[in-house]
Amino acid sequence: MQILAISDSIANTRFDVRRKALTLKAYKAAPILAVPEFVTPEGSEKTDISECLDYCFTECPPDAIALGLVRDADAIRLIADKLANNKHNAVVSEISLISDEGEVLVSSDVYNAVMQYLMPQIQFLSINIYEAELLSQISCKEDSDIVKAAQMISSKYNKIVFVTGSARTGWKELLYMGSNVIWLSEEDTCREYQNDKCLLIAIACELASDKPIAEAVKDARLYNTGHKKKEVKVKNEVAVAPKAEVAAKAPAATPAMYRQPTISFTAKAAQRRAEQARQAEEAKKKAEEAKKAEEAKSEPAPVQNLVSPAKSLRDIARNIEGSENAAEASHAVTTGIEEPVSGPKGTVSEIKEREVRSSADSISELKAMLQRMKNLSEM
């Protein structure tokens, strides 16, 4: 028998995880404990239970799931998501919104997360008298009021409802299953804190043994009080019709204890993932566009041509002169320098004397230049 227990652990209280472990050991069940937060006198520590839940649902699916106090809204949404997207057997839960003494245990964010995400995943709901009044909005002063409250909750949320005993109920406990109303004797209601037993875990173990629901709850109560198994006297009642102002109707049959993945919740999760993927794609495109713009800014500007148009015209004129008037005019001559002379360092080469040109040559050169200027003007 495999039982998955999910709950915060608060040392030395009814929420201590050791009580759950000892109960599982007594039932010889293989325990898997997922604890979102440990609270001890020294302080508190939160843990990530995502991998634990994934392993449990894929490698060793539990025969029942016991869900207790969880005081973190993100952890509640994670648990609900895992339950919604995996097939699972009965989820037995005490949502623990208010203590048996009337003290509020959770914040408004946690309450909203429980009602919106977690409630659709629960099949067996264990609550005290204060939580019954909160969920049904019915003041429970008499036994008939408790029945009406349980009927309202069962009809609205489609749950099997178990209202635990307290001084306000005379220590009697109520099991409401569709049209079946069963009052359980105060004789087997545990009135004192016990550090080695957990009623929620006991009910989950009994249900995992394929017992009928009423029998499983009775035997779990016997274990929790330490009594031997015996024939427990129960008082069966017909469901009391609610007053006109209470718009509730008892279900025709007991709610199912097996849960398929919640389609509506799964669809919402898929939509959320699709939206996240779309946003990531848009961010990626914007990053690429920004990178391209930055690269375009860093590219060097094209080098401009620093040669002036006048110099280009002069070069063209020289080329024309070289092809058409090479015989008429000679180029300017510079002083000729001999090749380096071999010898010791400091030896200076001889400089040739400049060739003396006649005036006739200068006139010829001038005429040739005038002719070139004329040719350029005619172009």
Instruction: Specify the CATH number for the domain of residue 177.
Output: 3.40.1190.20
Say if residue 251 is in the same domain as residue 326: no
Sequence-separated (6 or more) residues with CB below 8 Å from residue 155: 248, 249, 250, 251
pLDDT of residue 210: 86
> What is the span of the domain harbouring residue 327?
309-338+354-378
Q: Cα–Cα distance between 217 and 160 in angstroms, integer?
A: 12
Say if residue 265 is in the same domain as residue 362: no
Say if residue 84 is in the same domain as residue 163: yes
Residue 293 placed within a domain? no
| Number of structural domains in the chain | 2
Decide if pLDDT at 13 tops 50.
yes
pTM of the model: 0.61
pLDDT of residue 332: 46
Residue 280 placed within a domain? no
pLDDT of residue 238: 42
Sequence-separated (6 or more) residues with CB below 8 Å from residue 200: 20, 66, 68, 92, 93, 94, 126
Structure confidence at residue 82 as a pLDDT band (50, 70, 90): very high
Q: Cα–Cα distance between 188 and 173 in angstroms, integer?
A: 9
Q: What is the mean pLDDT of residues 320-337?
A: 50
Q: What is the mean pLDDT of residues 79-96?
A: 90
Q: Which amino acid is at 308?
A: S
Q: What are the counts of helices (DSSP H) followed by strands (DSSP E) for the chain?
A: 11, 12
Sheet holding 234-238, edge to edge: 30-34, 2-6, 64-67, 91-93, 124-127, 160-163, 173-177, 180-184, 234-238
Domain boundary among 272, 289, 324: 272
Element (H, E) at 91: strand 91-93
Say if residue 322 is in the same domain as residue 250: no
Say if residue 321 is in the same domain as residue 268: no
Nearest to 258 by CA among 82, 30, 81, 86: 86
Decide if pLDDT at 131 tops 90.
yes
Minimum mean pLDDT range among 165-169, 237-241, 259-263, 372-376 = 259-263
pLDDT of residue 248: 44
Residue 122 placed within a domain? yes
Nearest-5° Cα angle at 127, 126 to 129: 150
DSSP 301: P
Residue 279 placed within a domain? no
Structure confidence at residue 258 as a pLDDT band (50, 70, 90): very low
Residue 289 placed within a domain? no
Nearest-5° Cα angle at 73, 138 to 255: 50
Q: What is the mean pLDDT of residues 324-347?
A: 50
Q: How far is CA 194 from the centre of its chain?
A: 38
Decide if pLDDT at 54 tops 50.
yes
Nearest to 152 by CA among 293, 17, 246, 277: 246
pLDDT of residue 317: 60
8 A C-beta contact, residue 225 and residue 211: no
Residue 283 placed within a domain? no
Q: pLDDT of 97-109, one tens digit each?
A: 998 888 999 999 9
Say if residue 96 is in the same domain as residue 213: yes
Say if residue 182 is in the same domain as residue 320: no
Structure confidence at residue 323 as a pLDDT band (50, 70, 90): low
Say if residue 112 is in the same domain as residue 198: yes
